[in-house]
Amino acid sequence: MLKNKTNKVLDTKLDAVSIALKHSIKNLDSYTHVRGESLYVDDVNIRQGTFHAVVFDSPKAHGKIKSIDYSKAETLEGVERIFTYKDVPGENEIGGIIPDEPLFAEDEVHFWGMPIALIVAESEFIARKARSLIDIEIEDLPVITTAKEAKAMGSFINAPRSFSLGDTETAFADCDYVFEGETFSNGQEHLYIETQGAYAEPLENGNIKITSSTQGPTAVQKTIAKVLGVAMHKIEVDVTRLGGGFGGKEDQATPWAVMAALATHHLNQSVKLILNRHDDLRMTGKRHPYESNYKIGLSKDLKIIAYQTEFLQNSGAAADLSPAIAERTLFHATNSYYVPNVTTKVLSCKTNLPPNTAFRGFGGPQGMFVIESAIAKAANEIGVPTRKIQEANLLDENDTFSYGQIAKKVEAKNTWNSAKQLFNIESLEQEVEDFNKNNTSFKKGLAFMPITFGISFTNTPMNHARALVHIYLDGSVGISTAAVEMGQGVNTKMMQIAADVFSIPIEKIKIETTNTTRVANTSPSAASSTADLNGKATLMACKALVERLKTVASEDLNASENDITFKDEFIFINGKKSALTWTELISKAMLKRVALTENAHYATPEIHFDKTKEKGHPFAYHVYGTAITTTTIDCTRGTYEFDSVKIVHDYGKSMSEGIDLGQVEGALIQGIGWMTMEEIAYNKDGRLLSNALSTYKVPDIFSVPKIVEVIPVETEGNEMAILKSKAVGEPPLMYGIGAYFALQNAIKAFNPNYNLEFHAPMTPEKVLMGLYENTK
Ligand code: LUZ
Ligand code: MOS
C-alpha cells in the first residue's frame, strides 16, 4: 500500500477521529484506509535477506504421486530450498476439528490445488519460475466433485447429525398439504481483497514470530507448534488487520503461516509467503455447496405442521470446519418460523474439491435457502402468495426451536409487521402488479425474506475472550484483545467502550495488534461474536480500573468512593466537577503504586448444548429482521436489476450506527451475489474453471440495488449483547436470499408455465431459460 505520512496528515487525522467519535458512527479505520496507511501483512517491514516463497500444488484432483522431479527447480539461480512433507519435524497435520488434512501431500493428492511443496527463493519471481520447472507424475484416481456422488459412494467426513422436534412422521399424515422437492445452492468465493499471506521471522533461541492475515491467531500458533514439534510459547502470532476475511481466514489462513514458519525454522531467516489471486482462488476452499431435499406439510390455514430435510454438504477433501458448519445448518433450518414437528439431517460429504470452509453465515444461509424454497414451492402449488405462508408461521415468544432453545425477546413478527407498515406493502405490491399488467417485455417480482440468526459459537467452549488494558502514566490507554480487525469495525467499537467507561477522548485510546503473547488461547474472530466477547472483556477490564482509580480519587479528594464519577477527563464529586483531572489522577495512582493494568476474562453465561441429545440453549440471543426485495427483469435478455431492498433490522441498541449499517449493506450485497451471479464452477476432473475475475462475477457498484433502505426496529436491546448492541456481522447476509425469490416471482409473472426450480445462483442465463421454458 502507498504511504504518505506527514505531520500535517496526522493532525487532520486526529480532527477526523474526534468528529467520528462525537457521532459514534464512522469506522475510525476509514481514515488510514483511504490514505493507504493501514498496515496489512504485505506492508510489514521485512528484514534484510528475507526469502520469498511460492506453493507448488497438485495439478490433479485425486491421484497417487508416482514421481516428482525438483532438480531443475532446485538448481535455478536464486532458489534457496524446496520444502516437502519430509521436512516437517513434528506432525504433517493441520486439521482443526478432525486430524485429516496434511500440510503437504505425501503420496496421494486429494484436490486440485493441494499443497505439495514450498519453494523458497530470493524473490517471488524466481520462486514462481522454479515452480514451473517441477515435473510431477500422478496416477489418476476417481474424482468426486458433487455431494450426491459422494453420498452414493459412501464418502463422508464424519457421522451424520440430526435434530428433531415433535413427531414428524406422524404429523405428515395429519397435513392437508404435503410437498417434496430438491434444492441446490452453490459455493461462494470469499474474495477478500487481501489474499492469504504470512511473514515469519526468526527470534532468539529458535523462537519464531509470524505476522499472519488470520481470523484465528491461536489456531495459527497451535498448528505451527504441532507441525514444528515445538511448544506453543515459542511461536508468537501477530495480526495487524485483515483486508477482509468473511470466514475464509478462520481456518484457511493457517497453512500459509505454517509453511512460512517451517521455512524460517529450517533457514533461520525471515520468509514471506503471500498468495497471488490465482493461487488463492485455486488452493483455498469456499462456501459449501449444498444439495438438499425437503418435505413440507401444511394445514388448510397455511400453518407449517411438519418439515423434514436432508442436507448434503459438499465438504471437500478434508474436514476443515465442515462439521461445525453442518451443525449450524441444522440450527437455522427453520429460519424465522415455528414448526412443531421437525426432522433435519446433514451429511458432510467428502469430495475432491479444496476443503470448503467458513463463509459469513457458516451453513446457516444454506439451511435457510431450503426452507424458503419449500415455502415458495408450497405457495405455488396451493396458489397463494408466498408471503402468506411466511407470515402465518413466524416465530413467537416462547416458541421452541428444534434444538430445544426457547425463543425469547423475539422480533420476527415485529420486524415483519414494521416492514409491511413502514414500506407500505400494499402500495409496493400494487406497483408491481400494475407494472406487470402494463409491460410485456419487462416484469417485476417482489419477495419477503425474514431472518433469525443465533449469536454465539455453536461450540459452547469457544465463547470466551480476554482484554488486557494498560493505562500509561500520561493517561493514555492501550488495549489488547483477541479481536481481529478485518474491516468490520471492531477496533472502533473497542475504543468506544473504553472512551465511554473512562470518559476520555478517543485519541487517548489505542487498539494494539492482535497478538498471542498479550492475549492467549483465543477463539477466532468469527460467529458475529467478536464485538460481544471482546467488548464485554474490555468493558470488564475498564470498569475494574475505574473502581481502583475511584479509591485513589476519594483519598485525594477526601470524598466517598460512591460519590465519585469520571467525566470528560475530570473527576466529579456528587456530580460536581473537581479540579482533579484524569491525567493527574493517573500520576497520583502511580505514586501510590496502584496497578494501572487490568486483564479481564469474559465467558458468555447461560449457554449450553448437549450433543448426545442435540438439545440445549446454544445461543446467547438471536438477531431478527425482514427484507422486502423488488426486482425488474428484462424478458428479452434474462438480465435483471434490483429496484430496492427495504429492510427492518434488529440492531438492538446500535452502539455504532454507521458501522452497523455498513455491515448490513455489505452482507446484503454479498448475499445477493451468492444467490444471483456468483457461480463457482469445477469441471468433472475437479479443476476450478471460475479461477479468475473474468469468469467469476461478483456484484459491482452497478449490480447493487438502486435503493437500499435499512430501518432499525425499536427494541430494548439484549443484555447479552455488548452495550445492548446486537451482533451484526453475519445475519444480514441472509436478506440476500430474498433476491432469488423476487426473481422467481418476476419470471412467473411472464411465464405462468415456469417450473419453479431451486437451484442457486439465479444467473441471467437461468432467468432467460425460465422465461421461455414450456412455452411454444
Ligand atoms: N465459527 C465457528 C463460526 O467456529 N463456530 C460457529 O458457530 C460459527 N458461526 C458463525 C461463523 N463462524
Ligand atoms: Mo465466520 S463464517 O469466520 O464468522
Cα(327) to centroid(ligand 1), Å: 10
Q: Give yes or no for residue 727 CB within 6 A of ligand 1.
A: no
User: Catalytic residue at 730?
Assistant: yes
Q: Dihedral (C-alpha) 467, 472, 478, 481: value to the nearest 10 degrees?
A: -20
Burial class (CB in 10 A: 0-12, 13-18, 19+), 387: buried
Alpha-carbon span 132 to 188, nearest angstrom? 29
Instruction: Read off the pLDDT of each residue in 254-259 and give the average, rounded to a whole number.
Output: 98
For atom 2 of ligand 1, the residue with the nearest CA is: 457
Flag whether pLDDT at 440 surpasses 90.
yes
Cβ–Cβ under 8 Å, residues 263 and 51: yes
Give backbone dihedrals phi and psi of 531, rounded to 5 degrees, phi first. -70, -40
Give backbone dihedrals phi and psi of 329, rounded to 5 degrees, phi first. -60, -45
Pocket test for ligand 1, best of 356, 456, 457 (most atoms within 8 A of CB): 457
For position 314, what pLDDT does the model report?
99
Half-sphere exposure of 101 (CA within 13 A, CB side): 30
Q: What count of other Cβ atoms lies within 10 Å of the Cβ of residue 465?
A: 26
Alpha-carbon span 265 to 671, nearest angstrom? 41
Task: Answer left, alpha or beta for residue 521, where phi above 0 means left and psi between -120 and 50 means alpha.
Answer: left
For position 2, what pLDDT does the model report?
36
Q: Where are the beta strands (DSSP E) in 725-767?
A: 759-760
Which cell is 94 given?
A: 493441520
Terminal C-alpha separation, the chain: 57
Q: Which helix (H) or strand (E) holds 452?
A: strand 442-455
Cβ–Cβ under 8 Å, residues 515 and 237: yes
Give the pairing of strands 177-185 and 290-298: antiparallel
Q: Give yes or no for residue 331 CB within 6 A of ligand 1.
A: no
Pocket test for ligand 2, best of 362, 455, 458, 485 (most atoms within 8 A of CB): 362
Alpha-carbon span 589 to 587, nearest angstrom? 5
Q: Residue 9's pLDDT band (boundaries 50, 70, 90)? A: very low
Q: Give yes or no for residue 457 CB within 6 A of ligand 1.
A: yes
Q: Residue 242's pLDDT band (boundaries 50, 70, 90)? A: very high
Nearest atom in ligand 1 to the alpha carbon of residue 456 is 7
Cα(300) to centroid(ligand 1), Å: 38
Cβ–Cβ under 8 Å, residues 762 and 740: yes
For position 567, what pLDDT does the model report?
97
Which cell is 272 given?
A: 514471506
Gyration radius from the chain CA atoms = 27
Nearest atom in ligand 2 to the alpha carbon of residue 250 is 3
Alpha-carbon span 131 to 72, nearest angstrom? 9
Strand ranges of the sheet holding 514-515, from the earlier edge strand across to the other edge: 79-83, 115-121, 51-57, 271-274, 197-202, 208-212, 235-239, 514-515
Cα(427) to centroid(ligand 2), Å: 38
Selection from 389, 424, 395 nearest residue 410 by Cα: 395
For position 775, what pLDDT does the model report?
84
Nearest atom in ligand 2 to the alpha carbon of residue 529 is 4
Cα(457) to centroid(ligand 1), Å: 5
Map grid coordinates 470466514 to a residue.
247
Q: Which helix (H) or strand (E) holds 767?
A: helix 764-772
Cβ–Cβ under 8 Å, residues 134 and 69: yes
pLDDT digits (tens, 9 = 90+) for 503-546: 999 999 999 999 999 999 999 999 999 999 999 999 999 999 99
Ligand nearest to the CA of 462: 1
Pocket test for ligand 1, best of 98, 251, 325 (most atoms within 8 A of CB): 325
For position 716, what pLDDT does the model report?
82
Cα(455) to centroid(ligand 1), Å: 9
Q: Residue 25's pLDDT band (boundaries 50, 70, 90)? A: low
Nearest atom in ligand 2 to the alpha carbon of residue 361 is 2
Cα(620) to centroid(ligand 1), Å: 14
Flag whether pLDDT at 86 surpasses 80.
yes
| Residues contacting 472, CB < 8 A, separation 6+ | 478, 586, 596
Flag whether pLDDT at 8 surpasses 70.
no
Selection from 638, 585, 604 nearest residue 746 by Cα: 638
Return the axis-axis angle of helices 322-331 and 364-382, rounded to nearest 10°: 40
Q: Which helix (H) or strand (E) holds 328?
A: helix 322-331
Which cell is 554 given?
A: 476519594
Cα(38) to centroid(ligand 2), Å: 22
Q: Give yes or no for residue 619 CB within 6 A of ligand 1.
A: no
Give the pairing of strands 304-316 and 290-298: antiparallel
pLDDT digits (tens, 9 = 90+) for 179-200: 999 999 999 999 999 999 999 9
Burial class (CB in 10 A: 0-12, 13-18, 19+), 641: middle
Cβ–Cβ under 8 Å, residues 492 and 24: no
pLDDT digits (tens, 9 = 90+) for 467-481: 999 999 999 999 999
Alpha-carbon span 698 to 5, nearest angstrom? 34
For atom 6 of ligand 1, the residue with the nearest CA is: 457
Map grid coordinates 469506522 to a residue.
27
The percentage of residues in the chain with a pLDDT greater than 90, rounded to a whole number, is: 95
Cα(298) to centroid(ligand 2), Å: 34
Beta bridge partners of 67: 137
Alpha-carbon span 587 to 583, nearest angstrom? 6
Ligand nearest to the CA of 288: 2
Tell me the whole-structure pTM to 2 decimals. Answer: 0.96
Selection from 175, 248, 166 nearest residue 215 by Cα: 248
Alpha-carbon span 118 to 87, nearest angstrom? 10
Q: Select which of 80, 598, 730, 757 is catalytic.
A: 730
Alpha-carbon span 157 to 316, nearest angstrom? 9
Pocket of ligand 2 (CB under 6 A): 215, 247, 250, 358-360, 362, 526-527, 730
Cα(680) to centroid(ligand 2), Å: 20
Alpha-carbon span 567 to 571, nearest angstrom? 6
For atom 12 of ligand 1, the residue with the nearest CA is: 527
Q: Where are the alpha helices (DSSP H) in 449-581?
A: 490-502, 530-557
- Report which DSSP code applies to 156: B
Measure CA 309 to chain center: 25
Q: Give yes or no for residue 362 CB within 6 A of ligand 1.
A: yes
Q: Residue 587's pLDDT band (boundaries 50, 70, 90)? A: very high
Alpha-carbon span 539 to 773, nearest angstrom? 59
- Report which DSSP code applies to 270: -
Cβ–Cβ under 8 Å, residues 249 and 214: yes
Alpha-carbon span 472 to 707, nearest angstrom? 47
pLDDT digits (tens, 9 = 90+) for 630-679: 999 999 999 999 999 999 999 999 999 999 999 999 999 999 999 999 99
For atom 3 of ligand 1, the residue with the nearest CA is: 527
The full length of the chain comes to 776
Cβ–Cβ under 8 Å, residues 326 and 344: no
Beta bridge partners of 600: 467
For position 714, what pLDDT does the model report?
79
Which cell is 226 given?
A: 504441532
Task: Answer left, alpha or beta for residue 568, where phi above 0 means left and psi between -120 and 50 means alpha.
Answer: left
Q: Give yes or no for residue 607 CB within 6 A of ligand 1.
A: no
Selection from 629, 670, 687, 694 nearest residue 761 by Cα: 670
Nearest atom in ligand 2 to the alpha carbon of residue 360 is 2
pLDDT digits (tens, 9 = 90+) for 741-774: 999 999 999 999 999 999 999 999 999 999 999 8
